[in-house]
């Protein structure tokens, strides 16, 4: 949610300071004054320029599945933001979808976590989750995710706006993936190679009951009527828009802070709100499901939207990714 203009103006001096610090940090890293540590395995970073959801987790999942299909030994490195005991909601979501096929390193020092993993067993590819600004770790490929529905040219730097870095920082990336709707003019002002911009969509696989291991099914098959939606993710409006695109009847919405850990009182409030507008079920995201493990709903069923990630030019993206990896990992003569 964008802050009111008067508050944004008051915060603007802090944004200038923040921007100066970011530019200095990036310049020192690019010049080698701040050295990067390198893991033995290839590192593919997935990050973004803004706070809020842009599809990083579905992209990491897509990459993991594809590298596994190629016979690669894959590990995921995550900070575990707002998590505890070496995990987080995003890590748990990935573990649920990937099973035991992938190892995880979770902690603020991604290099140390990676070294632990590869000292125990070789890793062919590390996926660095939310790694674009994590300049301490050397990477072979930088993928930046952008939400096409966000007008970046109108955004301000933190804390007045949503930008973690200026738009021109995209020049550091190797590939850009735009979710939701693609505007290939999005990065024209940065002189970014438009051939390295790819479009992706979040696709609905179906719905399943909260914490139920059964495969996802169409909402009509599980007899769910009009729903009340809730979520604690970075871009709640995107979830609401997706539900509309998936023809789900939504009578009301409650948005919580990103990575919100739900309490029993939250569940009671949600059931009351839903009943008040005539909804017969609640619907949320897979990420939120990980923060609902200690919560019970007694009056209404809760359904989880199960999604996947579709690249419109999948073959071209794979070719570009593998070409960059091959070039960066080739031994120097």
Say yes or no: 71 and 160 in one domain: yes
Q: Which domain holds residue 174?
A: 5-20+34-200+311-329
Say yes or no: 128 and 223 in one domain: no
Q: Is the residue at 29 inside a domain?
A: no
| 136 has pLDDT over 80 | yes
The pLDDT of 179-196, averaged and rounded, is 66
Q: Is the residue at 28 inside a domain?
A: no
User: What is the predicted pLDDT for the residue at 184?
Assistant: 46
Total structural domains within the chain: 2
User: What is the predicted pLDDT for the residue at 16?
Assistant: 95
pLDDT tens, 10-53?
Answer: 999 999 999 999 999 999 998 888 889 999 999 999 999 998 77
Say yes or no: 87 and 158 in one domain: yes
Pairing, β 125-129 against β 250-255: unpaired
Say yes or no: 105 and 228 in one domain: no
In sequence order, which residues have a C-beta less than 8 Å from that of residue 35 and are 6 or more positions away? Answer: none
Say yes or no: 79 and 122 in one domain: yes
CATH of the domain at 160: 3.40.50.300
| 170 has pLDDT over 50 | yes
Q: Is the residue at 219 inside a domain?
A: yes
Say yes or no: 77 and 10 in one domain: yes
Say yes or no: 172 and 230 in one domain: no
Band of residue 191 on the pLDDT scale cut at 50, 70, 90: low
The neighbouring-strand residues paired with 74 are: 125
pLDDT tens, 259-299?
Answer: 999 999 999 999 999 999 999 999 999 999 999 988 999 99
| Tokens found for residue 262 | 């739900």
Say yes or no: 169 and 260 in one domain: no
Strands (E), the chain: 42-48, 74-78, 103-106, 125-129, 141-147, 175-179, 197-209, 227-231, 250-255, 281-285, 302-311
Q: Is the residue at 192 inside a domain?
A: yes
Strands (E), 89-165: 103-106, 125-129, 141-147
Q: Is the residue at 26 inside a domain?
A: no
Band of residue 223 on the pLDDT scale cut at 50, 70, 90: low
Band of residue 213 on the pLDDT scale cut at 50, 70, 90: confident
pLDDT tens, 111-126?
Answer: 999 999 999 999 999 9
Q: Is the residue at 287 inside a domain?
A: yes
Say yes or no: 185 and 258 in one domain: no
pLDDT tens, 88-99?
Answer: 889 999 999 998
Q: Are 92 and 41 in contact (CB under 8 A)?
A: no
Computed over every residue of the chain, the mean pLDDT equals 90
How would you classify residue 127: left for phi > 0, otherwise alpha for psi between -120 and 50, otherwise beta?
beta
The pLDDT of 176-201, averaged and rounded, is 74
The pLDDT of 246-252, averaged and rounded, is 93
Say yes or no: 196 and 219 in one domain: no
User: What is the predicted pLDDT for the residue at 332?
Assistant: 43
User: What is the predicted pLDDT for the residue at 186?
Assistant: 57
Say yes or no: 122 and 187 in one domain: yes
DSSP 288: H
Band of residue 255 on the pLDDT scale cut at 50, 70, 90: very high
Say yes or no: 55 and 178 in one domain: yes
């Amino acid at each position: 949610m964008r802050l009111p203009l008067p508050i944004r103006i008051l915060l603007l001096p802090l944004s200038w300071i923040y921007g100066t610090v970011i530019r200095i940090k990036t310049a020192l890293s690019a010049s080698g004054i701040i050295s990067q540590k390198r893991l033995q395995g290839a590192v593919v970073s997935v990050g973004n320029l803004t706070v809020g959801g842009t599809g990083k987790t579905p992209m990491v999942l897509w990459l993991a599945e594809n590298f596994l299909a190629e016979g690669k030994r894959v590990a995921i490195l995550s900070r575990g933001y707002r998590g505890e005991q070496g995990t987080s909601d995003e890590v748990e979501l990935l573990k649920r979808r990937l099973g035991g096929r992938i190892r995880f390193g979770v902690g603020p020092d991604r290099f140390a976590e990676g070294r632990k993993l590869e000292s125990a067993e070789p890793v062919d590819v590390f996926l660095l989750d939310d790694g674009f600004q994590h300049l301490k770790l050397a990477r072979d490929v930088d993928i930046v995710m952008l939400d096409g529905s966000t007008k970046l040219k109108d955004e301000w730097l933190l804390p007045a706006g949503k930008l973690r870095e200026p738009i021109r920082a995209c020049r550091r990336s190797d590939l850009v993936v735009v979710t939701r709707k693609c505007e290939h003019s999005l990065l024209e002002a940065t002189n970014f190679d438009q051939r390295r911009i790819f479009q992706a969509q979040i696709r609905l696989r179906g719905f399943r009951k909260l914490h139920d291991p059964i495969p996802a099914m169409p909402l009509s098959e599980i007899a769910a009527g009009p729903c009340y939606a809730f979520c604690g993710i970075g871009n709640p409006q995107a979830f609401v828009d997706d539900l509309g695109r998936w023809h789900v009847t939504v009578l009301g919405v409650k948005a919580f802070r990103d990575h919100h850990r739900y309490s029993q009182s939250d569940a009671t409030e949600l059931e009351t709100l839903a009943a008040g507008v005539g909804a017969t079920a609640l619907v949320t995201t897979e990420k939120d499901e990980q923060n609902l493990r200690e919560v019970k709903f007694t009056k209404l069923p809760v359904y989880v939207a199960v999604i996947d990630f579709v690249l419109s030019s999948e073959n071209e993206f794979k070719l570009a990714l593998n070409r960059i990896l091959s070039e960066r990992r080739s031994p120097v003569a």
